[in-house]
Amino acid sequence: MTKPTFHCAVPMMAEFENLPRLLKAVINQSISHWQLWICVNHPAYYHEQTKKHWIIEDNIKTLEYLKKLNHPKIHIIDHASIGNEWSSRKKSGVGMARKVLLDKIMQISAETDWYVSLDADTLIDHTYLEKLSEFQEKDDGRTAYSMPYLHCFDHNLETRRAILRYEIYMRYYLLQLFKIQSPYSFTALGSAITSSVKACKLINGLKPKASGEDFYFLQQIAKVGQVCSPPGPFVYPSGRKSERVVFGTGPAIVKGLRNNWSSYPIYNSAAYREVALCMQNFEAIYKGKGRVNLVEQFFAEELNQANPFEKLTTQHKRLDRFIKACHEKLDGLRILQFLRYYENLHPSNELKNLQDILPELNFEGSLHELPIDHLQKINDKLFKTEMLARSAEISLD
């Protein structure tokens, strides 16, 4: 029986410094049935901006290095040399690079092969792909996997502080979604996603976005199948600052160094309970006994969609299909939008919100003002709780 191939997909823009380390990490994997796909890319308009010329030069060095290497299992998708650069501002960037990579992989691979999304600045252990292969036995072809992560720290204390704060945001958000048993309980990190090629084809691949393409990819998988969050293997993303995308680790670090966490709040814990109440109300709505809740109020006020779930009863006669349709309506994006909506109505204290997951937490004041060792303790506790939840060893009810 032929072993499935792991197709590692890496978008690259100005990553020459990280290239040797990436190649070593993949080439030295403990299994040999892998292929590495690298999309070196930048938009053509970078030629018009002097401050972007270094990116062009860096990409050309990357292309030359890879071509000279001429490795039979390493494939170059060139969107960086003259004539191959992204021609449109809208159709460029990491989202477009990930789409092109996955399109190529789906085109040439078997449905039983695997798509492994990585980043050039992310470390993986030499057994990473071997451990991913353990998912094959139980995979149903409709599942994506969101792997656990630990960001790499440098020696700069302010950067470390920003990374800790960003991880606290992500871990708290995931744990709250676990707690309410949302189908969209996942962390969307581009370097920490894998799925069968069959699952990718079910959703026609990846839709390019200026940022957040990983979130939308997992959300679509969740609508046709499921997204699992196993306790390993780990990825180790870089904690570097970057403004090449508008959302994610890099820009979070940039904003964090300015003490601006408005895009990454520790949302009101009561908002998650409202989402849970809404989900628990689906069956009652199906039976004509539902009660209007704050989530439906949000749909009416912010999206101009009055009675969004009641309308689904005319389209789905079976209860299970109706509930699935309700979850597709109240997807990960809508949940996130509702959390922001609720926070605007009911501003909250972030430390008190964290106590909903960590009741033993006894720090006072503002999360922004805590010393770095306190942030480390909070993140450590959230990490341990997340690992237990990923292992399904505890209930967060």
**Spans of all domains in the chain:** 6-149+187-233, 269-347
Q: Is residue 393 pLDDT above 50, yes or no?
A: no
| CATH architecture of the domain covering 6-149+187-233 | Alpha-Beta Complex (3.90)
Q: Is residue 110 pLDDT above 50, yes or no?
A: yes
Number of continuous H segments (helices) and E segments (strands) in the chain: 15, 9
Alpha helical stretches, state H, the chain: 19-27, 53-69, 94-108, 128-132, 157-179, 197-202, 213-224, 249-257, 269-280, 282-286, 294-303, 319-329, 332-345, 350-354, 372-390
* Contact status, residue 368 vs residue 221, Cβ threshold 8 Å: no
Q: Is residue 370 pLDDT above 90, yes or no?
A: yes
At 35-80, the pLDDT tens digits run: 999 999 999 999 999 999 999 999 999 999 999 999 999 999 999 9
* Amino acid, res. 107: Q
CA dist., res. 188 & res. 186, Å (int): 6
CA dist., res. 136 & res. 114, Å (int): 9
Instruction: Say what the pTM is.
Output: 0.94
CA dist., res. 380 & res. 259, Å (int): 21
pLDDT band at 298 (very low <50, low <70, confident <90, very high): very high
